[in-house]
Structure 1
Amino acid sequence: MTGMFRRRPPLPPFPAGGLLVGGAVRDWLRGVAPKDFDWVVPDPAAAARAMAAVLGGSAFALDEERGYWRVHLPGGVQHDLVPRPADVTDDLLRRDFTVNALAVTGEGRVLDPAGGRADLRARRLRMVSAANLRSDPLRAWRAARLETTLGFRLEADTEAEVRRVAAALADGTLSPPAPERVRDELHALLTHPGAAHGVLRLEALDLLALSVPELREGIGLEQGGFHHLDVFHHGVEALHQLLARRPDAPLPLRWATLLHDVGKPRARTVDPETGRTHFYGHDKLGAALAAQRLGRLKLPGDDVRHVSRLIEAHMVPLPAGDREARRFVHRRRDLLPDLLSVMLADREAARGPSSNAASRHAYARAMNRVLEALEEQPAPPPPLLSGREVMALLGLPPGPRVGAALRAVNEAAALGEVRDAAGARAFVQTWAQTTTDQNTDGEA
């Protein structure tokens, strides 16, 4: 084999009377070992159980009524088995793209009714038909995802049809796919090293407005200062910068980096005297917008909260000294090191007139202070006092003031200012007197 193709990896044993179809065949022809296999077989239940026994996995029914089965194997390999259609060619011709309209027999014979092998060689993504794209509009998102993950280019007629599908979705002519399905396509795109380019392709194909419309609001919104890109392209560049440094970044961190400035368009104000543009509060507004959008895309609640908190914290000033670095770590430990990754990607994506070598060096030094403090104290010190002890010591009932006292003494312990229970009791008594005096002064 020549060109883009490598030596084909071995395939697992074929189920009796089965054909391997779809993306697994595409990857196998490209010399890439598939991890997800789709099979059409005469008896999915029997084939799944036999495959699990031979390969050492677990078989279970996905949809017993329709005869859909799945086999999970160690290492994340997955086999889906469905009933073999009466006409395999007709089934292949109802698929999305020609490179997925492929099947292979146990003898190694490739079935290619749509010309997918030629498109593979040309690195071309071509629809089987316009009707097929419209029959399941999610295939428009799949086009952007496959372009990104395969490194192919959409054929001109296919690209035009994807845009027509997007327009029909936007005006309500076509019904949108379920949010979970859109989310899965977006995640498949975002987990690829070329995710930043993939986001730009979503915009070029008119799909971003149907996915994360808030992100588009930054197109053309200039920032000045440290920034040389508009808000939208700055977010995309920040994602690129993140993946250049953390190629294994988890999905919530990728989302937070892409969306870190999503609140800027709605937070924008112009000073009437100076004419300067400001984005006060864009961190909090962006956190709320991101949580709302990712919730609609049905991301897990913990992921949504983590993204939102990262966005809300991304403007927190970095510490100027070692003590401040320990405080920074103590207050934001559960966001680290992800918060630093967002902040660094944000900074590295900015190369405006206010950015210079000296400012970047100072930023790097502050980052290092936080990393050193985190390394010195990777976990918070054990609490020196309980809530009951604080209540007894200060004569307080349960309430917010007890929590405030605990937070203050725990932070003092993290900063090394309190080292034992006796010191903690003395600290809490001093804290209580000081805060009482402050409140009294404020009332006077």
Structure 2
Amino acid sequence: MFRRRPPLPSFPPGALLVGGAVRDWLRGVAPHDFDWAVPGPAAAAQGLAARRGGAAFPLDEERGYWRVRLPDATEHDFVPQPADVNDDLLRRDFTVNAMGLSAARDLLDPTGGRADLRAGRLRMVSEANLRADPLRAWRAGRFMVTLGLKPDAGTDAALRRVAADLAAGTLPMPAAERVRDELHALLAHPEAARGLMVLEDLGLLALTLPELREGQGVTQGGFHHLDVFGHGVEALHQLLARTPDAPLPLRWAALLHDVGKPRTLDRNPETGRRTFYGHDKVGAALTTQILTRLKLPGDEVKYAARLVGAHMAQLPADEPAARRFAHRRRELLPDLLRVMLADREAARGPSSSPLGRTAYMLAMNRVLEALEEQPAAPAPLLSGEDVMTLLAIAPGPRVGEVLRALAEARALGEVQTPEAARVWVRAWAAAHPAS
């Protein structure tokens, strides 16, 4: 686990580096977030910002907490140095985080964190500390994946008690934003799918994504070899295997693409065949509900939900259909194809075959080729005013309907000039009378 230790930034006068940065430094990993206990937080923060060209701002002026963001993307938090540093470390979550380092590289380790780190062991400082901030249970799940640590028996049992008490309401749930940040730190890891299963094993996923868990035991058959829950987790794994730098909204869309299936399940009593008609639309609504509850930014919620809602789109069989597909879904491409491919690759049931997967890839390539040929929508040939004058109609939805149809014809190469567009609009309007 331990590699050559990376360099550390200059220590502010009298400062002690504490927490995760010390842990990462001992592991030979360059820290990105630094927690400093210093005699004068405001002066230390402002001095660092002035020297390194960063921005310093107070997190809590009353308590003297400051933060600095530097151009190299590192963050430095400054808090007042406690009278008893060891006592402060003993209030932390896990032993691997309960360490301090001086400028002389003297290690303060009152709980044996370095030995636990060497042993790959996740050990709580105390169960009382976990219960004082139950978010630490989610952090434990993250550390088990991102740091490769295994909880000792006492910590494992305590984590499960915390989850059970949260579910029973005898412990308060952490703020949604804090849970979201832990989830995102886990989802950003290459083994995010395994991380979700760790949360499930600890009893934390039920507190976080209950809608996703509704798919447990919901079998599908056909192309699928996993239940709906397992398929969603496997789709996330397949996405990250192919797109390791996938942004978080895309990761959410892969995970949640079939979240609507349990609520749309219908079973034919004669054949026993299961169907999930409309699960894409229900899934888009549930995705919006889940991500809004977790306080994601509105544009990310909308984008992930749109990907979920579009993942059942029929792939094109020829080049004209590929151009139409690319035009109609341009704003979601190529991410939509990534979700669709992850969906297909996560399904290895009896109806799945190498030949079918090859045909699927060929259809996707048609769309990608169409997108390369026309990476942006062509400039419009007519304006809304042109259409209103041409058809003698008033402003309203009909104008938008005509313009969308004309834009598609333009993208497909069916019309190229304003003169041809006028002829096309008259013909289209005659063939598609307003309802």
- TM-score between the two structures when normalised by the length of structure 1: 0.97
Q: Secondary structure at the match of 2:76?
A: strand
Corresponding residue to 1:401 among 367, 383, 398: 398
Counterpart CA distance in 2 for 1:219 and 1:159 is: 24
Matched, 1:132 2:129: yes
Report the CA distance between 1:54 and its aligned residue: 2.7
Equivalent-residue separation in structure 2 for 1:309 and 1:6 (angstroms): 43
Alpha-carbon offset, residue 357 of structure 1: 1.4
- 217, 225, 230: which one aligns with 2:222: 225
Paired position in structure 2 for 1:292: 289
Report the Cα offset of residue 40 of structure 1. 0.4
The one-character-per-residue Cα deviations of 1:121-180 (angstroms, maximum 9, x if unpaired) are: 011111000000000000000001111111111222111111110111111100110000
Match of 1:52 in 2: 49
Return the offset for 1:380: 0.2
User: Paired residue for 1:375?
Assistant: 372
Residues 220-274 of structure 1: per-residue CA shift (max 9 Å, x gap): 1111000001111111111010001000000000000000000111110101221
Q: Distance in 1 between matches of 2:401 and 2:238?
A: 38
Query: 1:292-351 CA deviation, whole Å, 9 max, x = no partner?
Result: 011010000100101111001000110011000000010000001110000000000000
Q: 1:67-86 maps to which residues of 2 (within 5 A)?
A: 67-86=64-83
Shift of 1:52: 1.8
Distance in 2 of aligned mates of 1:156 and 1:198:
19
SS at match of 2:36: strand
User: Within 2, Cα distance between the matches of 1:172 and 1:393?
Assistant: 65
Give the CA deviation at 1:51.
1.6
Deviation (angstroms), 1:188? 0.3
Counterpart position of 2:313: 316
Match in the other structure for 2:84:
87
Per-residue deviation, 1:74: 1.1
Match of 1:442 in 2: none
Q: In 1, Cα distance between the equivalents of 2:378 and 2:250?
A: 27
1:249 aligns with 2:246: yes
Unaligned 5+ runs, structure 2: none
Q: Secondary structure at the match of 1:351?
A: coil
- The aligned residue for residue 106 of structure 1 is 103
Q: Which residue of 1 aligns with 2:40?
A: 43
Structure 1 letter corresponding to 2:422: R
Match of 1:70, SS state, is strand
* Structure 1: distance between partners of 2:354 and 2:293: 41
Cα distance between partner residues in 2 of 1:39 and 1:376: 53
CA distance in 1, matches of 2:146, 2:396: 53
Residue 430 of structure 1 deviates from its aligned partner by 0.2
RMSD: 0.9
Shift in Å at residue 290 of structure 1?
Answer: 1.0
In structure 2, distance between residues paired with 1:351 and 1:174: 41
Distance in 2 (CA, whole Å) between partners of 1:359 and 1:331 is 25
Counting only pairs closer than 5 Å after superposition, residues 45-444 of structure 1 correspond to structure 2 as: 45-436=42-433
Q: Deviations over 1:43-90 (max 9, x none)?
A: 001111122223332222111111011111112101000001111001
Distance 1:127 1:183 in 2: 22
CA distance in 2 between counterparts of 1:55 and 1:109 reads: 26
**TM-fit CA distance, 1:374:** 0.5
Distance, in Å, in 1 between the alignment partners of 2:174 and 2:129 is: 14
Paired residue type of 1:416: G
1:397 shift after superposition:
0.3
SS in 2 for 1:74: coil
Q: For residue 203 of structure 1, what is the amino acid of its counterpart?
A: E
Q: What secondary structure sits across from 2:223 in the alignment?
A: coil
After TM superposition, where is structure 1 displaced by more than 4 Å over at least 4 residues in a row?
none
Q: Secondary structure at the match of 1:76?
A: coil
d(CA) in 2 for partners of 1:320 and 1:12?
Answer: 57
User: Does residue 22 of structure 1 match 2:47?
Assistant: no
More deviation in 367-376 or 264-273?
Answer: 264-273
Q: Distance in 1 between matches of 2:432 and 2:57?
A: 62
Number of aligned pairs? 435
Name the aligned partner's letter for residue 48 of structure 2: M
Partners in 2 of 1:357 and 1:246 — Cα distance? Answer: 21
Structure 1 unmatched ranges of 5 or more: 440-444
Q: Deviations over 1:187-219 (max 9, x none)?
A: 000000010000100100100011010011111
Kindly provide the amino acid, as one letter, of the partner of residue 367 in structure 2. V
